[in-house]
Amino acid sequence: MKKLFLHKITQPFQAQIQLPASKSESNRALILNALAGGTGSLSNLSEARDTQTMQRLLQRDEPVADVLDAGTTMRFLTAYYAAANRQKVMTGTARMQERPIGILVEALRELGARITYQNKEGYPPLQLEGFSYAGTKDLTMRGDVSSQFISAILMIAPTLPEGLTLHLTGQLGSIPYIEMTIQQMRQFGADVTADWENRQIRVAAQPYQSSDYAVESDWSAASYWYSLVALGPEGSEVELLGLKENSLQGDSAIIAIMQQLGVKSTYTGRGFHLTQIPAEKSFSWDFTHCPDLAQTIAVIAAVKGIPAEFTGIESLKVKETDRVLAIQQELQKFDANLVEEEANTKYRIVTNEQTSWDRAGTSIHTYEDHRMAMAFAPLAMCTNLEIDDASVVVKSYPHFWEDLGKIITIS
Ligand SMILES: O=C(O)C1=C[C@@H](OP(=O)(O)O)[C@@H](O)[C@H](O)C1
Ligand SMILES: C=C(OP(=O)(O)O)C(=O)O
């Protein structure tokens, strides 16, 4: 546990921030490069622990692959090792053992993988026992629990003797992450055709080609800077480096969201410059395709007292923690809340006369979730604040506190 005290800001800030690289793009590039023979040059790989874990596990062929709390690492490596006929135990933290993986395991079994559950049916740890191709050319997968299962299967599909046509069912979530997978696969020479209308993705059997790949900065990490600008003293502004105008990352939706919540984004050729603009009087957003932004936006809407409706946040319950519950518990410390209006579908940010954001010494609990720490840190724009376990940020943005230290005092 590493406690940090964030001191309330007193003056407007101007900063230039070199964001970390995207861990989503990095972890795909590492798998694709490995499948292509490992000879490409990957630049600007993320320093995120999730990416370091992926690199370490790909480099060292150990019998037990412990992914810690990295969802993509667990899902992508399980498919990679299973299809490569490798015997492995796939395991992770206690929380990872509560995050579902049954849909991916079922899909791999249909393709010919032998996989058993070591403890609970449908959850890690898994024992991968080998692979003999079952001749499956068509596979149906649910897309309503995690898109990572679909990305994992897509990335191994070109290595199957007859390729694969994937048929997606259920309410699809996180589609931009599937599109990112497809785009990156194409950069490594795969032949992929997505027919979203008919929910089919066809992948031809074709060896990957070695390719160089440069990873973009992380838009999910950018979201915390949008929040700092939105909640900062009048005149605060920041330039975020390494972001592209046309991103593969769905979390670039933060531009459109913050246009409504008080931040204007201007492309500078090397990133985006963020400045303050008036926010709209009310807000509603469907987070189905950008779930990692929901915590950040919950805090911004609550602090600004903007009546806000959130939909598409069901998947938050199976991430690093139950993020819906975690947001509720932390907002309640300030007499605000995220209230469920319709079971599991519609939520609303509520504030009242008791709501106050200047509550010196409030301690934010982080639930072993990097995004809880980073989404609530911008409250330092309103109050002196304690973060109860600041080390959680290593999962995606290891130098977050050093960057934040450029605009506030941290002790
Ligand atoms: O594929 C990816 O890189 C990711 C997909 C999303 O997960 P779900 O598909 O489970 O929503 C996202 O929340 C996660 O941070 C990264
Ligand atoms: C949900 C996340 O990651 P993962 O699912 O890869 O653990 C995240 O980074 O917010």
Domain assignments of the chain as residue spans, ordered by start? 4-16+216-404, 23-203
Instruction: Please measure the distance between the N-terminal and C-terminal CA atoms of the chain and give it in whole angstroms.
Output: 15
CATH class belonging to 4-16+216-404: alpha beta
Distance 147 CA to ligand 1 centre (A): 6
CB 40 within 8 A of CB 65: no
pLDDT classification of 344: cutoffs 50, 70, 90: confident
pLDDT at 202: 98
Atom of ligand 1 nearest to the CA of 292: 13
The pLDDT tens digits of the residues spanning 172-191 come to: 999 999 999 999 999 999 99
From 218, 292, 389, 403, the catalytic residue: 292
Complex prediction ipTM: 0.99
d(CA 238, CA 243): 13
CA 390 vs CA 46, 85, 290, 363, 402: distances in Å: 19, 39, 24, 11, 12
Distance 46 CA to ligand 1 centre (A): 16
Distance 303 CA to ligand 2 centre (A): 25
The pLDDT tens digits of the residues spanning 106-158 come to: 999 999 999 999 999 999 999 999 999 999 999 999 999 999 999 999 999 99
CB-CB neighbours of 171 under 10 Å: 10
pLDDT above 90: percentage of residues in the chain: 99
pLDDT at 226: 99
What CATH number does the domain located at 23-203 have?
A: 3.65.10.10
4-16+216-404 and 23-203: same fold? yes
50 is catalytic: no
d(CA 106, CA 279): 46
Ligand whose nearest atom lies closest to the CA of 374: 2
d(CA 297, CA 288): 14
d(CA 211, CA 197): 30
Residue with structure tokens 């992508």?
Answer: 76
- Mutating to test ligand 1, I would choose from 22, 23, 24 the residue with most ligand atoms within 8 A of its C-beta, which is 24
Average pLDDT for the chain? 98
Q: Backbone dihedral region of 199: left (phi > 0), alpha (psi from -120 to 50 degrees) or beta?
A: left
pLDDT at 116: 98
Binding residue positions for 3-phosphoshikimate? 23-24, 28, 146-148, 174, 292, 319
Indicate whether 1 pLDDT > 90. no
Distance 75 CA to ligand 2 centre (A): 11
Atom of ligand 1 nearest to the CA of 147: 9
The pLDDT tens digits of the residues spanning 52-69 come to: 999 999 999 899 999 999
Which residue has the CA at smallest separation from atom 7 of ligand 2?
A: 71
Residue 264 β-bridge partners: 275
User: 317 by DSSP, 3-state: which?
Assistant: helix
Indicate whether 296 pLDDT > 90. yes
pLDDT above 70: percentage of residues in the chain: 100
